[in-house]
Amino acid sequence: MFDTQPGAYSAHQRLVDAARARPQLWRLLVGLALVGVVVTVLNFVLFGLVSTLGSVAWAQSLLAGASPTAMLVLLASFAFVTFGVWVAARSLQGRTLNSICGPWRQATSQFWTVFKALFVIGFVVTILPPYDMGATLTQNLALSTWLLLLPVSLFAVLIQVSAEEVLFRGYMQQTLAARFRSPVIWLGIPSILFAAGHYAPGAAGDNALLVAVWSGLFGLLAADLTARAGTLGPAIALHLFNNMVALLFISLPDSLSGLALYLLPYDMSDTGMLRQWLYVDFAVMLVSWLTARVALRR
């Protein structure tokens, strides 16, 4: 499925070259620890501020993202991850975010090329049956409210997905590629860690492993797109398209549903309905990845 011949990933070398001056693994490990510290401290300050303005209970409810305000704050807080990566890369490798993301104009152009292609695929999937995902959907937000929030909601989701791409397909993938020649390592390790970050047995129950595998495969496909494109633009577009559908259009009712237009009538731990749709999601994800690859070749 993945063509790991050197020529296939030649565009990736420009990103990797920026990390070659200081490719030591200890720098990556210390850098990741530094990202963790920055994110923890800034989130502590944020939730302390929210608690002061509201209440401790309301601040804690932000993690569930059950209201529009909670979701917007939660998604926007992912900017701390991007800031943490900037601090780590700057202090330990002398790198900038631009060197991690790739040339701005090229990244932006590739982002829009892929996103427009995925939008067409999404429209086609939407008009195909079944129209209710096998169950009756529940209206979560009034259409007028949802449309009013949509611009800022999209921007908040963009902050979230960009942060994850900068960390996993940017900082981690490029540093490992500067140290190891084998794509199995620099494609695989960040994807495994990405999957581990999405393993949540407390919320997903018996579906937790399947959700983690889904996330790991998504990470692998996003890593492949980054290596082929030489920028994070296509991976961010793929990630935005996926999370936009899951967070803004049709969401699960048990978590991160505050900005969704509709809610599914089952939660993440449902081993009947949800598991069926996870398999469908696998197929859609593969089609989306292939679509992105075709779009980039034009």
Residues paired with 250 in a beta bridge: 262
Predicted pLDDT of residue 56: 66
CA–CA distance, 68 with 256 (Å, rounded to integer):
9
In the chain, alpha helices (H): 12-17, 25-53, 56-61, 68-76, 79-93, 97-101, 104-127, 143-165, 173-179, 183-197, 201-204, 208-229, 233-244, 273-297
* CA distances, 18 to each of 13, 181, 226 (Å): 9, 15, 15
Contact yes or no for 81/39 (Cβ under 8 A): yes
Over the chain (298 residues), the average pLDDT of each successive run of 10 is 66 91 93 97 89 70 82 95 97 94 95 94 75 73 96 97 97 96 95 91 79 92 96 97 92 86 79 72 89 90
The phi and psi torsions of 139 (rounded to 5 degrees) equal -70, 125
Host domain of residue 172: 6-297
Q: What is the pLDDT of residue 260?
A: 94
Report yes or no on 126 lying in a domain. yes
Nearest to 110, CA basis, from 7, 230, 239, 288 = 230
The number of domains in the chain is 1
Distance from C-alpha of 208 to C-alpha of 199, rounded to nearest angstrom: 6
Q: Where do we find the tokens 């979701």?
A: 71
Query: Does residue 78 lie within any of the structural domains?
Result: yes
Q: What is the C-alpha to C-alpha distance for residues 250 and 263, in angstroms, rounded to an integer?
A: 5
pLDDT of residue 126: 74
Instruction: List C-alpha distances in Å: 178 to 36, 175, 186.
Output: 22, 5, 9
Strand 262-263: give its sheet, edge to edge.
138-139, 262-263, 250-251
pLDDT at site 208:
82
For residue 89, count CB atoms less than 10 angstroms from its CB and return exposed for 0-12, middle for 13-18, buried for 19 or more: buried
pLDDT for residue 234 = 97
The answer to whether residue 60 sits within a structural domain is yes
Could you tell me if residue 220 is inside a domain? yes
* Amino acid letter, residue 141: L
Please report where in the chains the tokens 């993202």 appear, as a residue.
Answer: 65
Return the pLDDT at 5. 52
Q: Which two tokens stand for residue 7?
A: 């020529």
Q: Which of 56, 43, 81 minimizes the C-alpha distance to 165?
A: 81
Residue 6 is predicted with a pLDDT of 52
Residue 1 inside a domain? The answer is: no
